């Protein structure tokens, strides 16, 4: 009578496919040295490397190739230029509207007055305007130093204050 063998689950054999590839001599030496140092077979090292590359290719930029990183850098640069162009267009539009309003309000001050009283009034207006301008320039410089930008005040734009604060 033979001793009763315990039933062990059978593990299916992994089917493998032979792939032929060529390496440069330097890479082959490097692979051979790595395998000798780690005690792993070349097949195991290559199989793990290919599996890791295919699993993380889209997720990890450090494993992407140089062309992928270059394409990503070009896309990032394009997005930055588009955002800067948008910001410049917004500021240009705002400045144009301000200039139009200013010309409507201050158009009469651009002509020479006919009377001495008119000249005196114009001189006072210009002095007041110059003082106001200096205060405005100081306030703008202070805002700019603290990181405030006009684009941040505009609602509904990416990067605006309402978008950053989560407010409508």
Each residue of 37-88: pLDDT tens digit? 989 999 888 888 888 877 765 555 555 677 888 888 899 999 999 989 988 9
User: Under a CB-based contact definition with an 8 Å cutoff, are residues 69 and 61 in contact?
Assistant: yes
Alpha helices, DSSP H only, in 39-115? 42-56, 66-106
Structure tokens at 83: 């955002």
Q: What is the pLDDT of residue 166?
A: 53
**pTM, full prediction:** 0.42
Q: What's the burial of 63, exposed, middle or buried (CB within 10 Å: 0-12/13-18/19+)?
A: middle
Domain ranges of the chain: 25-64, 66-111, 114-155
pLDDT at site 68: 82
């Amino acid at each position: 009578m033979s001793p009763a063998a315990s039933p062990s689950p059978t593990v299916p054999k992994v089917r493998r496919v032979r792939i032929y590839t060529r390496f440069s001599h330097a890479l082959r030496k490097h692979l051979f040295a790595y395998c000798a140092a780690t005690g792993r077979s070349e097949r195991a090292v290559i199989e793990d490397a290919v599996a890791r590359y295919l699993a993380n290719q889209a997720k990890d930029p450090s494993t992407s190739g140089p062309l992928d990183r270059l394409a990503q850098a070009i896309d990032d640069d394009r997005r930055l230029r588009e955002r800067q162009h948008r910001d410049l267009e917004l500021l240009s539009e705002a400045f144009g509207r301000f200039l139009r309003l200013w010309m409507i309000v201050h158009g009469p001050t651009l002509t020479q007055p006919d009377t001495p009283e008119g000249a005196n009034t114009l001189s006072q207006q210009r002095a007041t305007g110059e003082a106001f301008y200096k205060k405005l320039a100081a306030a703008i410089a202070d805002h700019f130093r603290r990181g405030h930008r006009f684009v941040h005040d505009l609602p509904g734009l990416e990067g605006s204050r309402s978008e950053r604060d989560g407010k409508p």
